[in-house]
């Protein structure tokens, strides 16, 4: 061999939707344990986190707009 390691298969991340939503919610609040963060990095798919984060921010903005319209 030429001294290189054989190629590894891509990392399979099996994270549930509920765990992804929980991780994004805690991140939006700003409260995360270091151990939970490390576990999320190992288990959750980054594309799922981005998608759930965008939906969460969209819902937050819509909720704030609705609240302002109700008050004013």
**What pLDDT score does 13 carry?**
59
| Residue range(s) defining the domain that contains residue 23 | 17-71
Is 49 within a domain? yes
Is 50 within a domain? yes
Predicted TM-score (pTM) of this structure:
0.68
Q: What is the pLDDT of residues 16-37, one digit of tens each?
A: 888 888 888 888 888 777 787 7
Q: Which two tokens stand for residue 10?
A: 């891509």
- Please state the rounded mean pLDDT for residues 41-64: 92
Specify the length of the chain in residues.
72
DSSP category for residue 30: T
Is 11 within a domain? no
- Is the confidence at residue 1, as pLDDT, over 60? no
CA distance 53 to 29: 12
Residue 44 CB coordination number (10 Å)? 19
Question: How does the average pLDDT of the chain come out, rounded?
Answer: 83
- Is the confidence at residue 59, as pLDDT, over 60? yes
């Amino acid at each position: 061999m030429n001294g290189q390691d054989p190629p590894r298969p891509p990392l399979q991340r099996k994270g549930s939707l509920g765990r992804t939503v929980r991780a994004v919610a805690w991140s939006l609040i700003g409260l995360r344990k270091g151990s939970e963060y490390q576990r999320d990095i190992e288990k959750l798919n980054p594309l799922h986190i981005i998608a759930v984060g965008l939906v969460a921010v969209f819902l937050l903005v819509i909720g704030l707009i609705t609240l302002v319209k109700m008050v004013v």
